Chains A and B, each alone.
Chain A
Amino acid sequence: MRQKKLGYPFSYGDELTLEIAREIARENRKKIYINCLVLITVSSSSLSGLSPIIQIGLPVFPVSIERLIQRENSDSQNKNRKNSVPIIKDIVGQLELTGPQAEKFKIVAEQFMLGKITRRDGILKLRGGDGIVDISVILGFILLINWLDGTYGFQSVPIPHIDSMGWLNGKHDRKPMSPITYKSSKFQLQMAGITDTMCPNPDMADENGFIMSYEESHNLVADTYSGYMQITEDLKITDWQGAKKAYHVKGLGINPEDYGITQKELNKIRDKGGLIGYVQRGGKLPPIELVRAYQTRIKEICYDPSTTKNDKATYTDVNGVRPVTVFSNKEGLNLISFDQITGDLITGDKQRLTYFENYVETNNIGTQKNNK
């Protein structure tokens, strides 16, 4: 009989199944250590006999080490780890590691517990460089990390042999998080690059397709894009505005996929509600590195000797006419416009010839049609 899901990323019984993947991430949001799916089926009903035989080749990045990094800071602040060294022996016993395995595990685990190496280094040491991994030793290390998190994290979850009754009676079952916590943590995970989709459960979305309130979304955007890049004494590009206009990056020669987001995703920023609405619907936030690249590229264009600065241009839209400063580069057909009142970027992109000609001839950017 397959044992029910445990609080750490594997379960065992008649068959040992390691689902080291997003499946686990979905059920166990706190402990996400491994990115790819590895399935190991073992006929044995216990872990004995497992340790000597499981050696498998894994993909190039079998372990999403990046996911461990966010825990490193709290690890380094954990001054009581020396007192927890007995857990190493405990894990060696539990997994029935062989002599060489135990030795390898102890060395790395002790270094880790003494704070000499990080989680990332620990995994790398155990993973080795040849793509061959001794899974049982890796499991031991994961147990160690889980134990550490359980002790010093916000929810203490013992491993099964420590409180087997507790696991059987459901004491340590995962409790559903409150919707707000779920949404927030979901975004935090997303910002760390952990999830591919933002709304795995459509039931969570309201009738507008929103999984976040306006306020939550607004706060998240404000927190994420809180900085700015100064272009001239009077002009700047706020991170927020850069993110809002990030769908223009391709026009300035930046490939958004180099920053982990597609043009198609960025285009959705323009759908109902703009950037805030996009985030409310669970859209992937434009990475801050992409925003920086966009700001930097704009700055380069503004300071290019072949670029012309025009402080006497206007921008026309439904709200009327406003004074703008425009940097135009005829070689690249780039038009970068800044609102003279706020000093912030309006937009920056490569334009069509006809649009560029319109600007050159009229000194105006924007539509004539909707001007009230």
Chain B
Amino acid sequence: MDQDSQKNYKNFKKERHLTFLNYDKKRHLELLKKKSISIESEENYPELLKYSAMLNRHLDWETCHQYLELLEEFLKENISISDFCSEFCKRGSLNSDAVAILESNLILLSPHEKSLEFSELLEEIFDECEHFDGEEDLTGDEFRNSIEKSFVKIKKYLNEK
């Protein structure tokens, strides 16, 4: 990544963290209501997207044991790379779909304090699963090693207070 991109990414993470700390459920609801009566504007969209992503992260946190189980199975070599990628992404998509259902019913959950960082660690794995096609970028062994590193980080994070 060039310096500008790195800077942008750091800023984005900082801003996301601030939004997370200052989560405003009322505002989230307000944005959803506006959306439901079709007055969602381009202006509001990025804000709503942030809130929606926050809810998504919370659901990822709630289902963290399922992600961990999958990771363990993969690292024990009980499932193949293709099955792991498929199942991991499916797990993520289900949570994403669940957000849409909750929001359409105006059901909101306050994000767990650990959900943001946990989700960021998951994101590394999602990225790799999304783009791994066995042919380029990483070899199978590199992919496995990389997932293992992420798994260790997640475990460490979960064991922290």
* Residues of A bordering B, CB below 8 Å: 244-245, 247, 251, 263, 267-278, 314, 316-321, 330, 333, 347, 349-358, 360-364, 366-371
A362 touches B135 (CB 8 A): no
**Complex alpha-carbon distance, A353 and B5, angstroms:** 21
Which listed residue (A271, A320, A356, A360) contacts B134, Cβ 8 A? Answer: A271
**Interface assignment of B73: CB less than 8 Å from any CB of chain A:** no
Choose among B16, B57, B134, B137 the residue with the greatest number of A CB atoms under 10 Å from its CB. Answer: B134
Chain B residues near A349 (CB-CB < 8 A): 130
**Interface assignment of B31: CB less than 8 Å from any CB of chain A:** no
Chain B residues near A355 (CB-CB < 8 A): 123, 126-127, 130
**Interface assignment of B138: CB less than 8 Å from any CB of chain A:** yes
A268 touches B82 (CB 8 A): yes
A352 touches B5 (CB 8 A): no
Which listed residue (B92, B138, B150) contacts A318, Cβ 8 A? Answer: B138
Within 8 A of A (CB), among B95-150: 95-96, 99, 119, 123-124, 126-128, 130-138, 140, 146, 150
A352 touches B56 (CB 8 A): yes
Tell me how far the C-beta of A86 lies from the nearest C-beta in chain B, rounded to whole angstroms. Answer: 57
Tell me how far the C-beta of A276 lies from the nearest C-beta in chain B, rounded to whole angstroms. Answer: 7
Contacts A354-B53, A362-B8 given; does A274 touch B133 at CB 8 Å: yes
Tell me how far the C-beta of B4 lies from the nearest C-beta in chain A, rounded to whole angstroms. Answer: 10
Tell me how far the C-beta of A279 lies from the nearest C-beta in chain B, rounded to whole angstroms. Answer: 11
A367 touches B1 (CB 8 A): no
**Complex alpha-carbon distance, A361 and B54, angstroms:** 14
A270 touches B46 (CB 8 A): no
**Complex alpha-carbon distance, A274 and B140, angstroms:** 10
Chain A residues near B124 (CB-CB < 8 A): 367-369
Chain A residues near B99 (CB-CB < 8 A): 353
Tell me how far the C-beta of B85 lies from the nearest C-beta in chain A, rounded to whole angstroms. Answer: 6
B126 touches A271 (CB 8 A): no
Tell me how far the C-beta of A179 lies from the nearest C-beta in chain B, rounded to whole angstroms. Answer: 25
A369 touches B146 (CB 8 A): yes
Give 7 new A-B contacts, CB below 8 A, not counting A269-B82, A357-B50, A357-B53. A270-B81, A270-B134, A271-B140, A276-B135, A278-B134, A366-B131, A370-B128
Contacts A353-B52, A353-B96, A354-B56 given; does A362 touch B85 at CB 8 Å: no
A363 touches B8 (CB 8 A): yes
A367 touches B136 (CB 8 A): no
Chain B residues near A367 (CB-CB < 8 A): 124, 127-128, 131
Q: A361: nearest residue on chain B (CB-CB)? A: B12
Within 8 A of A (CB), among B72-102: 80-83, 85-86, 92-93, 95-96, 99
Tell me how far the C-beta of B15 lies from the nearest C-beta in chain A, rounded to whole angstroms. Answer: 8
**Complex alpha-carbon distance, A272 and B83, angstroms:** 12
- Bin the interface of chain B by size: 35 or more
**Complex alpha-carbon distance, A274 and B15, angstroms:** 38
Contacts A353-B96, A366-B127 given; does A272 touch B134 at CB 8 Å: yes
A273 touches B5 (CB 8 A): no
Which listed residue (A317, A362, A364) contacts B131, Cβ 8 A? Answer: A317
- Sample 21 A-B pairs with CB under 8 A, ordered by A number: A263-B86, A267-B82, A268-B80, A268-B82, A270-B86, A271-B134, A318-B137, A319-B137, A320-B1, A350-B93, A352-B92, A352-B95, A353-B49, A353-B56, A356-B53, A361-B12, A364-B9, A366-B131, A367-B124, A368-B1, A369-B124
**Interface assignment of B2: CB less than 8 Å from any CB of chain A:** yes
**Complex alpha-carbon distance, A356 and B52, angstroms:** 11
**Complex alpha-carbon distance, A270 and B95, angstroms:** 23
Which listed residue (B126, B138, B146) contacts A352, Cβ 8 A? Answer: B126
**Complex alpha-carbon distance, A275 and B52, angstroms:** 36
**Interface assignment of B45: CB less than 8 Å from any CB of chain A:** yes
Chain B residues near A316 (CB-CB < 8 A): 1, 5
A270 touches B9 (CB 8 A): no
Chain A residues near B136 (CB-CB < 8 A): 274
Which listed residue (A274, A275, A321, A353) contacts B53, Cβ 8 A? Answer: A353
Tell me how far the C-beta of A143 lies from the nearest C-beta in chain B, rounded to whole angstroms. Answer: 46
Q: Which 6 A-B pairs have the closest CB atoms?
A: A274-B135, A367-B127, A274-B134, A357-B53, A352-B96, A270-B82
